Structure 1
Amino acid sequence: MVLAARNPMKSEGILPREVPVVDFSGERAEVAKVIVKACEEYGFFKVINHGISKEVIAKTEEAGFGFFGKPMLEKKVAAPAYGCKNIGVNGDMGEVEYLLLSATTDSIAHISKTISTDPLNLRKSLSAYTEAVKELACEILEVMAEGLGVPDTWVFSRLIRDGESDSVLRLNHYPPIINRDKDKSSQITKVGFGEHSDPQILTILRSNDVGGLQISLPDGVWIPVTPDPSAFYVNVGDVLQVMTNGRFVSVRHRAMTNSYKCRMSVAYFGAPPLHQTIVAPSVMVTPQRPSLFRPFTWAEYKKATYSLRLGDTRLQLFRNCKR
């Protein structure tokens, strides 16, 4: 079973802490500065004024709730793209059901025929959303590169723009936990999706107006993320931590359920091609800060990820022993 936390005694901070907010409509140099600081300190930030239309977001949310509202037998037809409770192949469990598909036009078209009575409309909705968040992810990565002083500002985003990118789109649905206690006012909270970091480059996430997402700070304190359906949240992934030579941190996070309302999140995981070698740009490696990780391909890292339990630390397997 997935554990709720590695540090259960530090479940929440004494004082409320809010995650960094990036106004993407601001002056570019200032946006870059805020993003870099957020990635160094939190590995996570909220993006407002992101430029993705309300219509694109609404249609995707409608499609997601439409699918998860179907009878179980109809949803199981979409397997292996559809799953329930079983998060991974190593016994990880959670209070979640999900739909996972490659972030490509062909994959979206195929799954649309399987799960919808109106596949053309679903394909258009999911394709428009995927393209929009992919572009947002690339723009963010390019601003990051500028903020880090990397001459090749496409060094991160190029891996997602590549036609062979291994990026995926995942819809997670967390049904409310049925409260069978006599005291109907009491709330039940369970682990919906256990503690982990994302192995890819970058995650672009949004949810409906129901809370549940929590992130772990470097001091081990878990803080809840206030839901904002109009915004997107950005996670630094393991690959980006490697490509910044440890300057950015891959944030550990989890999702909790509740007993009053369902929560649905939609996550775009930007990933490189399988054959891509992951290594930090030369400007990120200095005599004072030598390379922390040995080169590896995304295929190698992905295989290692799936061989471990959900909350296991993976990056230590690829630490550079020559340091």
Structure 2
Amino acid sequence: MADVQTLTKIPTIDFSNENLKPGTSSWLSVRKDVCSALEEYGCFVAELGNKFPLELHNTMFATAEELFDFPTETKMKLTSEQVFHGYVANPPVRERMMINNATSPEETQKLTNVFWPNGNDIVREGANSYAKKMAELDKMVTRMVFESYGLEKNFDAHLELTTRTLSLIKYREHHETETNEGIKSHTDKHLTTILHQNRVRGLEIKTHDGEWIGFDPSPSSFLFLAGDALQVG
């Protein structure tokens, strides 16, 4: 794999403005940057600043660490009617827990019931808040895209058909005797994907000219990716 390049190659767009509302000058400016970044790179780094509390970041990553430390037989109880959802292990590289319709409090309650039968309000409320924040960002960006391509009239109908999935992924620590590739190069089939990392620089993006570039994640930054469905559209 090629050497990782610098953060400056992936555009960073500031979403921290509390007055970022449709029709305002700040909205139009950010909308232009969003569409330019998606057209050129297929992604951008969304900086939420104080809109995403550090406490919520810490809660979610502490929760993920605790969940993956449960015995395998417990994790296998997190099931789903959809293929490859629920708990999935890809030994020896990674484990993943996927929650369908993650913006529904009932679904996050199912997760906590599996691991904490007596309840865990911190995890449940944290997962609900996290899913809501991600849904707000996704809704904002998607609306900007619809507006930019003259599809405003279709936006509400699109929202009614949209469900969101929350995935928690744990990658095993890299061993010096192994290849640098944790998971093969791929694109997501969805319309959009939002990735939030801990401070480990593990993710790389392949540009149109074949370069692999990375970025330094922070608690309030999120990598927003255009999925196959959006690129086809």
Q: How does 1:206-221 map to 2 (within 5 A)?
A: 206-221=196-211
Answer with 1 or 2: which has the greater Rg.
Answer: 1
Q: Give the C-alpha shift of residue 110 in structure 1.
A: 1.3
**Structure 1: 5+ residue runs without aligned partners?**
1-7, 87-93, 182-187, 244-323
> How has the CA–CA distance of structure 1 residues 107 and 143 changed in structure 2, closer, same or farther, with 3 Å as cutoff?
same
Give the distance between the partners of 1:32 and 1:167, measured in 2 at CA: 22
Give the distance between the partners of 2:57 and 2:5, measured in 1 at CA: 35
Q: How does 1:163-312 map to 2 (within 5 A)?
A: 165-178=162-175, 188-243=178-233
Give the distance between the partners of 1:178 and 1:14, measured in 2 at CA: 22
1:198 alignment partner, SS class: coil
**Structure 2: 5+ residue runs without aligned partners?**
21-25, 81-85
Q: Give the C-alpha shift of residue 204 in structure 1.
A: 1.5
> Who is 2:125 aligned against?
124
Paired residue for 1:82, among 76, 80, 87?
A: 87
> How has the CA–CA distance of structure 1 residues 158 and 20 changed in structure 2, closer, same or farther, with 3 Å as cutoff?
farther
TM-score scaled by structure 2? 0.81
The one-letter amino acid of 2:205's match is I
Structure 1: which 4+ aligned runs deviate by more than 6 Å?
13-16
> Who is 1:71 aligned against?
71
Is contact 1:17–1:223 with CA below 8 Å preserved after alignment?
Answer: no
> Who is 1:150 aligned against?
150
TM-score scaled by structure 1? 0.60
> How has the CA–CA distance of structure 1 residues 109 and 120 changed in structure 2, closer, same or farther, with 3 Å as cutoff?
same
Q: Percent identity?
A: 24
Offset from partner CA, 1:103-134 (integer Å, 9 cap, x none): 23322211220023534432221111111110
Q: Give the C-alpha shift of residue 203 in structure 1.
A: 1.1
Is contact 1:67–1:116 with CA below 8 Å preserved after alignment?
Answer: no
The one-letter amino acid of 2:198's match is N
Q: Give the C-alpha shift of residue 52 in structure 1.
A: 2.5
- Bigger relative contact order, structure 1 or 2 (CA pairs below 8 A, ≥6 apart): 2
Q: How many residues align?
A: 216
RMSD: 2.6
Is contact 1:100–1:171 with CA below 8 Å preserved after alignment?
Answer: yes
